[in-house]
Structure 1
Amino acid sequence: MEPFDDMKVIYNRLVPFRGFTAINLMGVVFARVEYRPLSAAILRHEAIHTVQMKETAFLGFYLIYISEWLWGLLRRQSSFAAYRAIRFEREAYRYMADPSYLTRRHPYAWASMSQ
C-alpha cells in the first residue's frame, strides 16, 4: 500500500493554474482534469508535502514556503527557479520516484535540503 492510497484528490479545470499538474492545499490535492489519473510519482510528491505540512502545523508550511519563494525571487529573478529552490520542493522532487521514501524518511528532512 502506498502512503497516498487514501489521499483525497479533486480533479477540476481551475486549480491549479494552467502549467501546473497539482497543488496540495491542507492535505487535499487539487489536480487538473487533463492529468487524470495522477502518476504514482506525482501522488508521492504531494504525499511528501502532506507530511511536511503536518510537521509544521500547516500554517508554518505556508509561511516558510512563501518566504523561501519570495527570497528566491529576490536572488534569482525567475519564478520557476525560486519555486524549485524551496526546501519543501527540493525534498519532494528528489524523492518522488522512490516508493519507500516515506517509510524511512526522517522527521523534518526538508530542513536539511541545501539551497
Structure 2
Amino acid sequence: MIIVSRYFFYKNYVGLSLWPFLILKNSTLKKDAVLIHHEHIHLKQQKELLLVFFYVLYVLEWLLRSLWYLDTYKAYQNISFEREAYANEVHLNYASQRKPFSFIKYL
C-alpha cells in the first residue's frame, strides 16, 4: 500500500518503507519504478527480520557507521540494507528473486 505524505521527509529523502506501507513525498513518485523497487527491497528486508529486528539493526548500524565515518549521510549510504537496495534497485525483478538475508553480503 502506498501512502503520500510530505511530512515524513527530511531534505532530499522522498521514499520510506514502514512495513507494509510505502510512504512517498508526493504522488508523482508513484510512477518512479526504481524508487518503488528500492522501497520494496526494504519491505522484504523488514519482513524477514520480523520488522523490529530490522529497525534495531538499521539504527545500530547507522550509529556505528556514523562514528566510523564521522558523517551521518555517508553512514546512511553504507548501511547494509541501503547498500543492497541501491545496488539492486534498477534490477526490477530482484525483489521477487531475492534470497533471504541477502543484505548480509553488504555488511
Q: Same fold (TM over 0.5)?
A: yes
Of residues 33-42 and 22-31 in structure 1, the stretch that sits farther from structure 2 once superposed is 33-42
Q: Secondary structure at the match of 2:91?
A: coil
What CA distance in whole angstroms lies between the structure 2 residues aligned with 1:80 and 1:28? Answer: 24
Aligned equivalent of 1:84: 77
Q: Does 1:69 align with 2:62?
A: yes
What CA distance in whole angstroms lies between the structure 2 residues aligned with 1:9 and 1:34? Answer: 9
What CA distance in whole angstroms lies between the structure 1 residues aligned with 2:46 and 2:2? Answer: 17
Alpha-carbon distance, 1:34 to partner = 6.7
Query: Deviating runs (4+, > 6 A) in structure 1?
Result: none
Q: Does 1:51 align with 2:44?
A: yes
Unaligned stretches of 5+ in structure 2? none
Name the TM-score, length of structure 2 as normaliser: 0.92
Alpha-carbon distance, 1:26 to partner = 2.2
Identity %: 28
Q: Secondary structure at the match of 1:23?
A: strand
Q: CA RMSD in A?
A: 1.4
Amino acid at match of 1:25: L
Q: Secondary structure at the match of 1:24?
A: strand
- Which is richer in helix? 2
Structure 1 residues 35, 70: CA separation in 2 closer, same or farther (over 3 Å shift)? farther
Name the TM-score, length of structure 1 as normaliser: 0.86
Q: Secondary structure at the match of 1:29?
A: strand
Alpha-carbon distance, 1:35 to partner = 4.7
Q: Secondary structure at the match of 1:14?
A: helix
| Aligned length in residues | 107
What CA distance in whole angstroms lies between the structure 2 residues aligned with 1:34 and 1:104? Answer: 28
What CA distance in whole angstroms lies between the structure 2 residues aligned with 1:106 and 1:13? Answer: 33
Deviations for 1:71-111, whole angstroms, at most 9, x for unmatched residues? 01100011111001110000000000001212321110001
Q: Does 1:93 align with 2:86?
A: yes
Amino acid at match of 1:14: Y
Q: Does 1:108 align with 2:106?
A: no
Check the 8 A contact 2:24/2:30 in 1, yes or no: no
What CA distance in whole angstroms lies between the structure 2 residues aligned with 1:72 and 1:100? Answer: 30
